[in-house]
Amino acid sequence: MSSRTLRLSGDELAYTLAQSGRPDLGQGVLQGMSDVPLAAEDAVQRMLAAGHGLMARQLLQINAEATPVLADELQWIAGVLTQAPFSLRYSQTTAAATFNLTYHAANGGVVEHLVDQGVIHIFTEYEQSRAAVDGGVTFFQIAGLHSEIGSQGDIAKALLDQVQQEQDVATIQKLLAQATLTAPLREQFAEDLAQTSYRGSVMRIEYGPNGEPVSDRGLLLLGGPARLWLLKPHQRPTGTVLTLIPGSESVLRREVAALMK
């Protein structure tokens, strides 16, 4: 159950971060909304306009020393984005678009960070971290999904990269014969590689003392017309190997819960 929600425009979020001592993060938010380098003068004007907008929403005040003072809600968001020990990020790419959803660890729970149409940032606080697991099921729309195959196998990343360039099922199956996959696993995976609905990922991102990402680990996902596949990367002396796991709601919940620990 959520306890509070806050909606901010990208410019308002940038202003909040800048006023919280992280102008670099604020600049990053502004630049992330533009396809071309943002001029310094344009950034200043947008920040000023965002400040006025926050004042109109009673989320910002100017004290007697003419210093901007952020409302508690904005201080909350700034703290979440600059002090989270780790985040869990879902990503899904289709032929039409890419979608992202992030959960930031905070006070034993999580804060969901959804960017609506690339413009509006929606933050929702949940007291229980399992909300991040539930969010993944909803994000990938796999509630109630079951797997027909219980086995799993390994495939070298180099081989997977090669296979993904092919569109003919028979050709893909021949190439997959080089991997350690059972025949049923190979046949169904080949079918979905030839008609992929989306590719996705679930990544745990950890941060250094200055808020910079210092490590990440997670899963790759591939969605077919009716099936889901999870791929867990492992480093071997011969290179990166991915464990191919037939996906289901329960499997995704298990793997995401492990990433949250």
Residue owning tokens 């909803």 = 138
Task: Give φ, ψ of 98 to 5 degrees.
Answer: -120, 135
Q: In terms of domains, do 95 and 171 share one?
A: yes
Q: How many domains does one find in the chain?
A: 2
Do residues 182 and 241 share a domain? yes
Radius of gyration of the chain (CA): 22
Last residue of a domain, one of 41, 60, 83: 83
Considering the domain architecture, whether residues 116 and 79 belong to the same structural domain is answered as no
**Backbone angles phi and psi of 24, in degrees to 5:** -65, -40
Quote the pTM value.
0.93
**Final residue of a structural domain among 34, 52, 83:** 83
| pLDDT for 83 beyond 80 | yes
197 and 211, same domain (yes or no): yes
Domain range holding 168? 85-261
For the chain, the helix, strand and coil percentages under 3-state DSSP, each to the nearest 5: 40, 35, 30
- pLDDT tens, position by position, 194-226: 999 999 999 999 998 877 888 889 999 999 999
pLDDT number for residue 14: 97
Please name the helix (run of DSSP H) or strand (run of DSSP E) that holds residue 29, with its range, or none.
helix 23-32
Q: Taking the CA atoms of 251, 254, 256 and 259 in sequence, report the sign of the dihedral they define.
A: negative
Are 261 and 150 within one domain? yes
Single out the residue in 83, 116, 150 at which a domain terminates. Answer: 83
Residues 112 and 201 in one domain: yes
Q: pLDDT tens digit string along 108-160?
A: 899 999 999 888 999 999 999 999 999 999 999 999 999 888 789 999 999 99
For residue 2, the model assigns a pLDDT of: 67
Ramachandran angles phi, psi of 8, nearest 5°: -135, 145
Which pLDDT score, from 0 to 100, does residue 246 have?
A: 96
Are 118 and 179 in a shared domain?
A: yes
Question: Would you give the distance in Å from CA 97 to the centre of its chain?
Answer: 14
- Nearest 5°: CA angle at 135, between 120 and 210? 65
Cβ atoms of 240 and 135 within 8 Å: the answer is no
